Amino acid sequence: MNVSSVKGSMSISSSTSTWKAGDTISDQFPAGLRVLVVDDDPTCLMILEKMLIACLYKVTKCNRAETALSKLRENKNGYDIVLSDVHMPDMDGFKLLEHIGLEMDLPVIMMSADDGKKVVMKGVTHGACDYLIKPVRIEALKNIWQHVVRKRKNEWKEFEQSGSVEEGDRQPKQSDDADYSSSANEGNWKGSKKRKDEEEETDERDDTSTLKKPRVVWSVELHQQFVAAVNQLGIDTVPKKILELMNVPGLTRENVASHLQKYRLYLRRLSGVSQHQSNLSTIISAQDPTFGSLSSLSGLDLQTLAATGQLPAQSLARLQAAGLGRATAKSGIPITLVDQRNIFSFENPKLRFGEGQQQHMTNKQQVNLLHGIPTTMEPKQLVSLRHAAQSIGNMNMQVPPHGAQSSQNNPLLMQMGQQQQQQQQQSRGQILVDSTINHAPRLSSSMGQPILSNGIATNVSSRNGIPENIRAPGYSQTPSMLNFPMNHASELPGNSFALGSTPGVSILTSKGAFQEDVNSEIKGSGGLMPSYDVFNDLDQHKLQSWELQNVGMAFDTSQHSNSLQGNLDLTQSALGQQGFSSGQMNGHNRSAAVASKAMFSTGDVKELGSAQNVNQHLNNLLVDNTIRVKSERVCDTSPANIFPDHFGQDDLMSALLKQQESVASSENEFDFDGYSMNNIPV
Amino acid sequence: MDRNRLHNQVASMRRSLFDQGYLDDQFIQLEELQDDTNPNFVQEVVTLFYNDSTRLIQNIEQALNSRPIDFCKLDDYMHQFKGSSSSIGAKKVTNECTAFREYCNAENAEGCIRSFQQVKQEHAILKRKLEVYLQTVRQASQTA
């Protein structure tokens, strides 16, 4: 029987002793790998369990997604990998995938009898590390450990600043002579195994927290540099090139590689967010409490933000409450464009938290920001924007750049993630995100704004629209869009998003905060891209929202909806990265958030007569996002990049930056995966 | 000897199940999973499948009888059923499921109903054959 033969081979291969979960990778690895398998079909579940046991894994089976999630939550470090079916009655497999990615950052393998390209692609965009077609054969399961090793390796690399580079380098090199049929990482495993045997390090198996390697801190500046490099080379570039272009001493290819991965995931999430409000909500809700329920920027978020001081939350809250009907509201935020603008203008002063002057700037900038945003946003859109923004915020938080960053994620996320709001926000966040995403496309159409940012703005009602464009996979667009809850069609009744006026906003939206819908949204917004540019230019501003920037950049490049996807990816990664530099972001986030707000306000909020509210909203959202994002991102990233050229982005940026800096924040509720609102293209 | 005869019988039954296309490779996977720690694994899985599939069949029947027919739901049920049957290697059953899903996608109610009859038929035939086969396997393993 296989089991015995496997055992035999395992014992032969190495010299070390018993494998213990959490222990160093011993000879017996991958034996003992702790697998959680979820499938509603009892026959399949039984067979899978038996197969996994035959592979010497430690198996836990669940027939419901909820059960699986609660098991994972109860014991966050109790599992190494998750196998999940796609079609399940209580929860969609992809939703579960997102939850896991965000909260636990575990590798997830999807399974289905469905081998259609679309479904498989969905798995990819949602961050699944593999997709198995049923009926699953034992051979396919024998190699699933590679995903665990790969992930850890990447995480480990993230940590190392310079020093353990060699070891890291060694790993990839070893993969050349992989014996395993499908595992290219066999070499890695061997290498790492060897390394472990020799050095008895427990890095690979242990929690990343135990790693002693110096962590690469992806500061805002660094992230901006990264994003700039990626934009220049294209999202499909290789880490080596990025590294060369960035030319940062001490940075390794591995650091860049893992950061890039996260960034891509982030962008993908952003683009993918738009469509599914509900998904978002689920995700958001499922997200870490640290994220603090991005879900809704609604008053809660605002409050939180305000409380934290970073974000002119108060203003936001006020605005939101006023314009949007308060936080809980997903209900059709009556965010008319006009209102939005007003909101934004209000925001401006607030954003600054003390900066007064910036407000004006921000106001203007807001306008700019929203310029891409159709001024005729229906209240719904606005609302959704708001929600979206919130959600984005939440989303960002929740959606770690590479989805899985939940714990390590980006500090931004943590920061942003206002736990309190979590629950509420989660749902809201989703809405927001969704709305934004949806709206994004709409925005462009109706508002003509590139607000894509988060798709909030315009498509609040239409979640549907944007589906593919935004491809921001995991990153909640937040950075740029951050907050346009516009997308949330369902939630926001009125779409009167003043998105039009706030170009910056659009950018944010496109950022793809919305993971699912973002894709679509972003495309629509097209306009968002410019916002990134705006942000980028504002280097001086520490709006770390590199994500935003990225978004901006992303948008610029792809002015077209299609490109948004790419941008989003960038943004996402950017955001993701931002997320990493968690520490930095805190302070930055605030400012970013503020800045973003400012951005919105500065954006031609005014233009949108009715869009004011929207703008404000957007701004708020943006700001919120920025704040959140900022936590990770260094404020340095000038939001200027994000903002399109429409308005004195520089002004905006500076305003934003100032705001951000002044914001004390800590809580960027909107934990946009590091997207700093700063980049909200104005 | 009895044992030999039984073993031969088992072997030939098994071969014919494969040759006639009732079972495919996946069934071999199940057989390979069976070992001393789980001597009746195949039997257990097959039993589980038939118990569970009865429920699915009922759901499909219900969905087919309702008017208007909810093709989405039908497809969903059939997808589950197909996943299940393919996991035990029930080749013919799985093929019929695929045919059914095509009719379903085309929203062809007539086609669905006819196809479903085929699914049920193959499902029942295989059940009988497996029962006999597994019983023979049990007998063969029991004889010393």
Contact between A453 and A533 under an 8 Å Cβ cutoff? The reply is no
pLDDT at A233 over 80: yes
- Which of A50, A53, A139 to mutate to test binding with chain B, by most B CBs within 10 Å of its CB? A50
Distance between CA A377 and CA A487 in Å, rounded? 11
Confidence of residue A366 (pLDDT cuts 50, 70, 90): very low
Of A50, A134, A137, the CB nearest to B38: A50
Contact between A666 and A466 under an 8 Å Cβ cutoff? The reply is no
Per-residue confidence (pLDDT) for residue A50, from 0 to 100 = 93
How far does B82 lie from chain A, in Å, by closest CA? 8
The number of C-alpha atoms within 13 Å of A15 and in the hemisphere containing its C-beta is 8
Shared fold status for A34-159 and A220-271: no
Q: What is the pLDDT of residues A141-169, one digit of tens each?
A: 998 999 988 888 887 777 775 454 444 44
pLDDT at A630 over 60: no
Of B29, B37, B82, the CB nearest to A138: B29
Q: Chain A residue with minimal CA distance to B31?
A: A1
Per-residue confidence (pLDDT) for residue A81, from 0 to 100 = 92
Q: What is the pLDDT of residues A516-563, one digit of tens each?
A: 343 333 333 333 344 344 444 444 444 344 443 443 443 333 344 343
How far does B6 lie from chain A, in Å, by closest CA? 22
Helix axes A419-442, A379-398, angle to 10 degrees: 130
Name which residue leads in pLDDT, A609 or B118.
Answer: B118
Q: Chain A residue with minimal CA distance to B47?
A: A43
* Highest averaged pLDDT of the listed ranges A230-244, A273-287, A445-459, B28-42: B28-42
> In angstroms, what CA-CA distances link A380 with A267, A603, A648, B3?
25, 20, 29, 77
Nearest to B130 by CA among B29, B16, B8, B5: B16
Q: Does A206 touch chain B (CB under 8 A)?
A: no
Per-residue confidence (pLDDT) for residue A27, from 0 to 100 = 65
Which CATH number is associated with domain A220-271?
A: 1.10.10.60
Per-residue confidence (pLDDT) for residue B93, from 0 to 100 = 94
DSSP letter for each residue of A120-148: HHHHHHTT-SEEEESSPPHHHHHTTHHHH
How far does B111 lie from chain A, in Å, by closest CA? 21
User: Average pLDDT for residues A661-671, to the nearest whole number?
Assistant: 44
Q: What is the pLDDT of residues A353-364, one digit of tens each?
A: 434 344 444 444
How far does B53 lie from chain A, in Å, by closest CA? 9
Average pLDDT, chain A: 54
Distance between CA A469 and CA B52 in Å, rounded? 41
Distance between CA A447 and CA A465 in Å, rounded? 14
* Highest averaged pLDDT of the listed ranges A320-324, A416-420, A633-637, B102-106: B102-106
- Which of B23, B33, B78 to mutate to test binding with chain A, by most A CBs within 10 Å of its CB? B33
Per-residue confidence (pLDDT) for residue B96, from 0 to 100 = 94
Distance between CA A459 and CA A490 in Å, rounded? 10
Of B32, B37, B88, the CB nearest to A43: B88
SS3 A82: strand
* Highest averaged pLDDT of the listed ranges A220-229, A275-284, A439-448, A577-586: A220-229
User: Average pLDDT for residues A189-205, to the nearest whole number?
Assistant: 44
Distance between CA A345 and CA A361 in Å, rounded? 9
Contact between A332 and A604 under an 8 Å Cβ cutoff? The reply is no
Q: Do A43 and B86 touch (CB under 8 A)?
A: no
Instruction: Classify residue A380 by its DSSP letter.
Output: H
Q: Does A138 touch chain B (CB under 8 A)?
A: yes
How far does A43 lie from chain B, in Å, by closest CA? 5
Contact between A530 and A552 under an 8 Å Cβ cutoff? The reply is yes
Q: Do B41 and A50 touch (CB under 8 A)?
A: yes
Confidence of residue A242 (pLDDT cuts 50, 70, 90): confident
The domain A34-159 is placed in CATH, from the list 3.30.70.270, 2.60.40.10, 1.25.40.10, 3.40.50.2300, at: 3.40.50.2300
Distance between CA A424 and CA A436 in Å, rounded? 18
The number of C-alpha atoms within 13 Å of B136 and in the hemisphere containing its C-beta is 18
Name which residue leads in pLDDT, B76 or A474.
Answer: B76
Q: Do A87 and B88 touch (CB under 8 A)?
A: no
Q: What is the pLDDT of residues A469-506, one digit of tens each?
A: 433 333 333 333 333 333 333 333 333 333 333 433 33
CATH superfamily for domain B1-143: HPT domain (1.20.120.160)
Q: Do A114 and B79 touch (CB under 8 A)?
A: yes
Cβ neighbourhood burial of B5 (10 Å; 0-12, 13-18, 19+):
exposed
Per-residue confidence (pLDDT) for residue A238, from 0 to 100 = 85
Q: What is the pLDDT of residues A295-313, one digit of tens each?
A: 344 444 444 444 444 444 4
Task: Work out the angle at residue A300's Cα, subtended by the Cα atoms of residues A464 and A615, and round it to the nearest 5 degrees.
Answer: 55
How far does A159 lie from chain B, in Å, by closest CA? 41
Per-residue confidence (pLDDT) for residue B126, from 0 to 100 = 95
Of B33, B82, B83, the CB nearest to A50: B33
Residue B52: its chain A contacts at CB < 8 A? 41-43
Per-residue confidence (pLDDT) for residue A178, from 0 to 100 = 40
Distance between CA A627 and CA A415 in Å, rounded? 9
pLDDT at B71 over 80: yes
SS3 A640: strand
The b/e string for A339-348 (b: 16+ C-beta within 10 A; e otherwise) is bbbbbbbbbb
Nearest to A479 by CA among A403, A377, A577: A577
User: Average pLDDT for residues A179-192, to the nearest whole number?
Assistant: 43
Distance between CA A535 and CA A527 in Å, rounded? 14
User: Which residue bears the tokens 């798709």?
Assistant: A455
Contact between A281 and A295 under an 8 Å Cβ cutoff? The reply is yes
**Which amino acid is it at B125?**
I
Query: Residue A111: which H helix or E strand, with range?
Result: strand A108-112
Number of A/B CB contacts below 8 angstroms equals 70
Express as a percent the part of chain A with pLDDT over 70.
Answer: 27
Domains of chain A by residue range: 34-159, 220-271
Confidence of residue A653 (pLDDT cuts 50, 70, 90): low
β-strand partners of A25: none
Report, in angstroms and rounded to the nearest whole number, the Rg of chain A calculated over CA atoms: 22
- Which of B57, B74, B84, B94 to mutate to test binding with chain A, by most A CBs within 10 Å of its CB? B84
Peptide bond before residue A681 is cis, with ω within 30 degrees of 0? no
* Highest averaged pLDDT of the listed ranges A135-144, A214-223, A436-445: A135-144
Helical segments of A200-301, H only: 220-233, 239-246, 253-271, 277-286
**In this structure, what are the phi and psi dihedrals at residue A104, rounded to the nearest 5 degrees?**
-115, -15
Per-residue confidence (pLDDT) for residue B22, from 0 to 100 = 94
Q: Do A137 and B29 touch (CB under 8 A)?
A: yes
What are A34's two structure tokens?
A: 């702790």
pLDDT at A266 over 90: no
What are A530's two structure tokens?
A: 């410019």
Q: Chain A residue with minimal CA distance to B79?
A: A113
Contact between A289 and A419 under an 8 Å Cβ cutoff? The reply is yes
Residue A41: its chain B contacts at CB < 8 A? 52, 80, 83-84, 87
User: Which residue bears the tokens 């969609």?
Assistant: A92
Per-residue confidence (pLDDT) for residue A246, from 0 to 100 = 85
SS3 A25: coil
Query: Residue A398: which H helix or E strand, with range?
Result: helix A379-398
Q: Chain B residue with minimal CA distance to A46?
A: B45
pLDDT at B31 over 90: yes
How far does B68 lie from chain A, in Å, by closest CA? 22
Three-state SS letters, A585-625: HHHHHHHHHHHHHHHHHHECCCCCCCHHHHHHHHHHHHHHH
Q: Does A173 touch chain B (CB under 8 A)?
A: no
* Highest averaged pLDDT of the listed ranges A378-392, A596-610, B39-53: B39-53
Residue A42: its chain B contacts at CB < 8 A? 48, 52
Name which residue leads in pLDDT, B88 or A388.
Answer: B88
- Which of B85, B86, B87 to mutate to test binding with chain A, by most A CBs within 10 Å of its CB? B87
Q: What is the pLDDT of residues A104-143, one digit of tens each?
A: 888 999 999 888 898 899 888 988 999 999 999 999 999 8
Q: What is the pLDDT of residues A23-36, one digit of tens each?
A: 445 567 788 899 99
Contact between A570 and A231 under an 8 Å Cβ cutoff? The reply is yes
Which residues neighbour A393 within 8 Å (Cβ) at sequence distance 6 or greater?
A294, A297, A301, A416, A425, A429, A432, A476, A478, A482, A483, A513, A621, A624, A625, A628, A668, A669, A670, A671, A672
Instruction: Classify residue A299 by its DSSP letter.
Output: I
Q: Do B52 and A113 touch (CB under 8 A)?
A: no
Per-residue confidence (pLDDT) for residue B51, from 0 to 100 = 93
Which residues neighbour A62 within 8 Å (Cβ) at sequence distance 6 or greater?
A36, A37, A38, A68, A71
Q: Do B86 and A1 touch (CB under 8 A)?
A: no
Q: Do B48 and A44 touch (CB under 8 A)?
A: no
How far does A435 lie from chain B, in Å, by closest CA? 26
Confidence of residue A658 (pLDDT cuts 50, 70, 90): low
SS3 A356: coil
User: Which residue bears the tokens 């004889």?
Assistant: B143
Which sign does the torsion angle of CA A490, A496, A500, A504 carry? Answer: negative
Distance between CA A481 and CA A441 in Å, rounded? 12
Q: What is the pLDDT of residues A53-91, one digit of tens each?
A: 999 999 999 999 999 999 998 987 889 999 999 988 888
pLDDT at A592 over 80: no
User: Average pLDDT for residues A394-422, to the nearest whole number?
Assistant: 40
SS3 A358: helix
